[in-house]
């Protein structure tokens, strides 16, 4: 009897854990049935192409969450990634528009982005500040700095190398998708297959246990913020490629989609924890939903409301699933 009850409880927990995915797939199915051309190869390519910046950002975010633990309030989170990404985009746009070399621009952007990551790491590990607030404050500050650098102006792209991320093809596939695919594989290996990656997950799973077994948690957490900043740097180039230049304000939507993708991705893992793989799939699903809702003509503000509500639902369901367990 008791075993049966436990079994039922387990089944319930599994069901609740899978609910976000079920909701998403139901939404997609609804869109697919109602929108012409939604379930086509071309649209799949479109979904992938539009998801690239979010995919790159969630690689960084999932690493931070893995190292710091996935409690939304006290665990690891880095909301500054979208700001780091636009900082990179802004710096590269300003320097290349001034006629200087792309290499110099990329170098300057890399230094600036890693500085942001370094400050995040110091504040979170040394001063023990809450990552949620620290990185939110950092987001605001970095967007502010970027507004000073770019004077909040639109800057058109002058670099063909960056444009090739959008328009060139290799082996019949868009170059941008291939490059991001390779980065996903490398990150997957790094985060899920190396000793460093396993230590990172151990640190986030249980900080105390990890410390007792000799893992230097603070170092790992700090490294995760640096990795996140680096991914922000990479994201910047894809933002430039996608927008054919720098447009102010890109960070807001990226933030919303990044957070949604990351926590939605937890539903993909058997233990309902944030994984890089799950987060990347989450990013693709979020892009599919965004495109799908627009394809069936849902008002843009409703789209935002739906995305916000989905974040709440996903996080709430994961909390409920945890409790049931």
304 counts as binding another protein under rule CB under 8 A: yes
172 counts as binding another protein under rule CB under 8 A: no
What minimum distance in Å lies between the beta carbon of 185 and another protein? Answer: 26
User: And the tokens for 143?
Assistant: 């967007």
Site string for another protein, 60-79 (x = CB under 8 A): --------------------
Q: Give dist(CA 235, CA 53) in Å, integer.
A: 5
What minimum distance in Å lies between the beta carbon of 246 and another protein? Answer: 9
291 counts as binding another protein under rule CB under 8 A: yes
User: And the tokens for 298?
Assistant: 């849902």
37 counts as binding another protein under rule CB under 8 A: yes
Judged by CB under 8 A, the stretch of 61-69, 224-232, 242-250, 265-273 that binds another protein is: 242-250
101 counts as binding another protein under rule CB under 8 A: no
Site string for another protein, 243-262 (x = CB under 8 A): xxx-xxxx-xx---------
What minimum distance in Å lies between the beta carbon of 108 and another protein? Answer: 22
Q: Give dist(CA 249, CA 205) in Å, integer.
A: 35
Residue 50 C-alpha from the chain's centroid? 13
Question: Is 144 exposed, middle or buried (CB count within 10 Å of its CB: 0-12, 13-18, 19+)?
Answer: exposed
167 counts as binding another protein under rule CB under 8 A: yes
Site string for another protein, 132-151 (x = CB under 8 A): -------------------x
Q: Give dist(CA 74, CA 191) in Å, integer.
A: 21
190-197: Cβ within 8 A, 24+ apart: 191/62, 191/63, 191/66, 191/276, 192/275, 192/276, 192/277, 196/220, 196/223
What minimum distance in Å lies between the beta carbon of 157 and another protein? Answer: 8
80 counts as binding another protein under rule CB under 8 A: no
Residue whose pair of structure tokens reads 């069936």 in the numeric block? 296
Q: Give dist(CA 8, CA 318) in Å, integer.
A: 18
Whether residue 206 contacts residue 71, with contact meaning beta carbons closer than 8 Å, is answered with: no
160 counts as binding another protein under rule CB under 8 A: no
Residue numbers at the binding site for another protein (CB under 8 A): 35-38, 40, 42-43, 46, 49-50, 151-157, 166-167, 239, 242-245, 247-250, 252-253, 291, 294-295, 297, 299-301, 304
């Amino acid at each position: 009897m008791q075993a049966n009850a436990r079994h039922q409880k387990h089944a319930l927990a599994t069901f609740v854990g899978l609910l976000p995915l079920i909701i998403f797939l139901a939404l997609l199915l609804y869109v697919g049935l109602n929108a012409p051309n939604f379930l086509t190869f071309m649209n799949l390519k479109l979904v992938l192409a539009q998801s690239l910046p979010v995919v790159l950002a969630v690689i960084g975010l999932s690493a931070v969450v893995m190292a710091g633990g996935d409690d939304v309030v006290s665990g690891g989170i880095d909301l500054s990634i979208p700001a780091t990404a636009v900082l990179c985009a802004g710096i590269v746009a300003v320097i290349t528009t001034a006629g200087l070399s792309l290499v110099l621009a990329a170098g300057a952007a890399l230094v600036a982005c890693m500085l942001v990551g370094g400050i995040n790491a110091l504040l979170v590990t040394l001063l023990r500040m809450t990552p949620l607030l620290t990185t939110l404050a950092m987001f605001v500050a970095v967007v502010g700095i970027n507004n000073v650098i770019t004077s909040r102006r639109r800057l058109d792209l002058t670099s063909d190398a960056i444009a090739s991320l959008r328009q060139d093809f290799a082996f019949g596939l868009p170059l941008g998708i291939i490059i991001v695919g390779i980065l996903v594989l490398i990150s997957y290996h790094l985060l899920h297959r190396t000793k460093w990656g396993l230590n990172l997950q151990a640190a986030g799973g249980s900080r105390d246990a990890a410390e007792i077994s000799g893992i230097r948690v603070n170092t790992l957490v700090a490294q995760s913020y640096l990795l996140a900043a680096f991914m922000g740097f990479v994201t910047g180039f894809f933002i430039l490629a996608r927008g054919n230049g720098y447009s102010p304000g890109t960070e807001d939507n990226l933030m919303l989609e990044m957070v949604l993708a990351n926590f939605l991705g937890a539903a993909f893992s058997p233990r309902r924890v944030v994984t890089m793989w799950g987060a990347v799939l989450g990013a693709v699903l979020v892009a599919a939903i965004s495109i799908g809702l627009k394809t069936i003509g849902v008002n843009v503000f409703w789209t935002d409301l739906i995305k916000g509500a989905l974040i709440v639902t996903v996080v709430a369901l994961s909390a409920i699933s945890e409790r049931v367990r």
